[in-house]
Amino acid sequence: MRVVEEKQMMLGEVSIANITFNPKSRDDIDQLLKGLQHLYKNVELREKLFGVLEKMIPNGIAHDNGRPGMHLWRVFVLGMLRLNLNWDYDRLHNMVNYHSKIREMLGHPEWDDYVYELQTIKDNFRLFTLEILDEINQIVVLAGHQLLKKKTVV
């Protein structure tokens, strides 16, 4: 059973909307995570994005039995890191297991020692089809245009 995101936060987990970043950082990881945070914080964008993510659930999956798969928000974050930062699977594997801000964005409390296996990352990344990526791209581009429009009007 796959869910887009867990409804109940774990003890010590930081809400994605409340993750703080160094405002002076120009690092590509921080910039991407801030963009993902913006998509998450905007309710309308988040609902559109989650609608697309739900299409990633393979057909024929029983929703009421079996072990739960990785939350689709986590699959999305992993996919965006890999694609936007041009990381190979080994780099992605290392970063999702040891980079504190990435782990916060994935919904892990500071004390959580959950380790993503390399094969799990590969298997979940395969859920991204060209159609899914195109739909996500449309949402992100539109959000960027709206942000830019607001900044030029003010």
User: What is the Cα gyration radius of the chain?
Assistant: 16
**Per-residue pLDDT at 93 exceeds 60:** yes
Cβ atoms 69, 78 nearer than 8 A: no
User: What dihedral angle (degrees, nearest 10) is formed by the CA atoms of 80, 36, 95, 66?
Assistant: -70
Q: Which tens digit of pLDDT belongs to each residue from 44-85?
A: 999 999 999 988 877 766 555 545 568 889 999 999 999 999
Mean pLDDT along residues 113-117: 94
Global pTM reads: 0.83
Calpha distance 145→141 (Å, rounded):
6
3-state class (DSSP) for residue 95: helix
Return the H-helix or E-strand segment holding 125.
helix 118-125
CA distance 17 to 14: 8
% of residues, the chain, pLDDT over 70: 82
| Across 99-119, average pLDDT | 93
Q: 2 falls in which pLDDT band (50, 70, 90)?
A: very low
Single-letter amino acid, residue 134: D
User: What does the block give as tokens for 150?
Assistant: 């607001």
**Is residue 128 a contact partner of residue 56, using CB atoms and an 8 Å limit?**
yes
Phi, psi of 23 (to 5 degrees): -65, -20
Nearest alpha carbon to residue 105 among 133, 134, 131, 76: 76
Domain ranges, ordered by start, for the chain? 16-153
pLDDT, tens digit (0-9, with 9 covering 90-100), for 121-137: 999 999 889 999 999 99
Q: Are 12 and 3 in contact (CB under 8 A)?
A: no
Residue 71 pLDDT: 86
